Structure 1
Amino acid sequence: MYQTDPSLPAKETLPTMYDLPSEDPQEPGVPDEFHLFQPRLLQETFCPPNYPVEQVFTASDLNLYYDVRHPLWYKRPDWFAVVGISRLYEEHDLRLSYVIWQEEVAPLVVVELLSPGTETEDLGQTTREINQPPTKWSVYEQILRVPYYVVFDRYTNQLQAFQLIDRHYQKLLFDGSPIWIAELELGLGLWYGRYQGVERLWLRWCDGDANWIPTPVEAERSRAEAERLRAEAERSRAEAERLRAERLAERLRSLGVDPNQL
């Protein structure tokens, strides 16, 4: 269907992002609140220090087209990140989907949030039916070769992370400390706190010192608090200076010296 003679690169002959959008009015189901909030927190705290912001792309619930032989097949990760690529499609447009043969850069990390009924596929425990698309696990491990695959179950608060080693996923030890991803100079762990008015365990990015990366709201709050403390310190310094001047003036008067004449 897409072949030419002589053959041309897939990037020139196969459908593009504009042909393969994410919107599908017939696709059943909509994300629940957790599936909205958790990816947002991941995106807000994903700040790899070794990549400029314009070379970082993150997405949630966006169609990821992965097979040039079956250009209509896609997966829809709950959240994924690509680094070393323009944040905008061809450096000028917001993405409608992520088409691997156009982008030519695979995600570095994919996160799936378990839901009732998705656990077996998300964890690679299902088999492919004949003439059906491959499972998520197969796509991420064998086709896209995503270096890091993370699965989080909010019902049990269980975090499982896998790293691609020798072309297969190997489970990483999670002892409660954030999982370090050297390529990003970031860690990913479980943080207990309040986000969007909900207090619970959340997936969140941290820096090399295990400090949680602040969200924009938290960063602004910290800046406001720092400014408040700075202003308070300045007021205290000015008050201390005033009291010192008053004590000095009183001392001079006790010695018969008019401080206003100095």
Structure 2
Amino acid sequence: MTSYEPVFTPVPVPPLPSMYDLPSESAAEPGLPDEFHYWQPQLLIQTFRPPAYPLDRVFAAADLNLYYDSLHTRRYKRPDWFGVVDVPRLVDVGRLSYVIWREGRAPMVVVELLSPSTVEEDQGETLRGGEPPSKWEVYESILRVPYYVLFDRMGNSYRRFRLEGASYQELPDYQELWIEELQLGLGLWQGKFADVERLWLRWYDRQRNWIATDVEREQEATERERLRAEQERLRAEQERLRAEQERLRAEQERLRAEQAEQKVRSLSERLRELGIEPDAP
């Protein structure tokens, strides 16, 4: 007799909802940034080191209110990341916001990470001429930000725009984003950051070397210290070997002198045995 075993069909488990799926208390604030919106800007901040400017005159920020209109002081945009040069790195104990009419300089480059709630505005697809103006309009026409980058982390692609005349012109896929004013380039890097392996936006130098992160700089400093200590150990060992060689040379000279003296004594004794006084005139 065959026993009966019921067959159960597994029920698919729905994916966990994200902040884009759930309502927010504020209609104007769809939610807080997800983890990628923290990690990617941190990588950009850590590698944004334009060699033409001292570090204390370079400022980069993520998710910081950028106030752009002195006549409408409540208006702001909040770029996912932006970089400015020739402004103080620190103001007081750290900026609470970036106020254009006080800083005196607009960002050199802005990066927006595409997300469902902002993709149309980020790409300039919303209706223009409204109040307040969209991000695209602020970056292009009000702040005149020279370079604007959009990164689609889901599609692992990015779009690069350069301000030419009154409007942004998109760079073709084959053209790298090299910013001569900064002596830096921005490209796609496959690697691990924040313990996550994926494709990231990252700054590189003129030799196409990726600018080091904080962890990499610490590792490089540790390796330099290890190499310095090893060099010191080798120098000390070389000095010890040189001292030992000098001691051996001195010992050899002493032995040669003793051998020569022994030969002289033996010869003198032999001469005396033959009745010849070796010291006689």
Short-chain TM bin? 0.7 to 0.9
| Alignment counterpart, residue 60 of structure 1, candidates 62, 71, 74 | 62
Matched with 1:194 is 192
TM-score using structure 1 length: 0.76
* Aligned CA-pair RMSD: 2.8
1:142 is aligned with what amino acid? S
Q: How does 1:90-239 map to 2 (within 5 A)?
A: 92-128=92-128, 130=130, 132-175=131-174, 178-233=176-231, 235=233
Shift in Å, 1:118 = 2.1
* Unmatched segments (≥5 aa) in structure 2: 1-24, 257-281
Instruction: Provide the aligned length of Structure 1 versus Structure 2.
Output: 230
Kept in 2: contact 1:114–1:152 (CA 8 A): yes
**In 2, Cα distance between the equivalents of 1:88 and 1:76?**
19
Higher mean Cα deviation, 98-107 or 224-233? Answer: 224-233
Shift in Å, 1:193 = 1.1
Shift in Å, 1:146 = 0.3
Shift in Å, 1:246 = 7.8
**In 2, Cα distance between the equivalents of 1:252 and 1:83?**
65
The 1:127–1:215 alpha-carbon spacing in structure 2 relative to 1, beyond 3 Å, is same
State, as a whole percentage, how many aligned pairs show the same letter: 58
* Unmatched segments (≥5 aa) in structure 1: 1-24
TM-score using structure 2 length: 0.71
Higher relative contact order (CA 8 A, sep 6+): 1
Q: Which SS does the other structure have where 2:218 is aligned?
A: helix
Higher mean Cα deviation, 187-196 or 95-104? Answer: 95-104
**Per-residue CA shift, 1:144-202, capped at 9, x if unaligned?**
11000011111111111111011110112343x75210111111111111111111111
Shift in Å, 1:233 = 5.0
Shift in Å, 1:222 = 1.1
- Is 2:32 aligned against 1:44? no
Following TM superposition, where does structure 1 have runs of at least 4 consecutive aligned residues deviating by more than 6 angstroms?
240-256
**Per-residue CA shift, 1:20-54, capped at 9, x if unaligned?**
xxxxx954411111111111111111111111222
Shift in Å, 1:250 = 9.1
**In 2, Cα distance between the equivalents of 1:84 and 1:251?**
63
Q: Which SS does the other structure have where 1:139 is aligned?
A: helix
2:197 is aligned with what amino acid? E
Matched with 1:4 is none
Kept in 1: contact 2:128–2:137 (CA 8 A): no
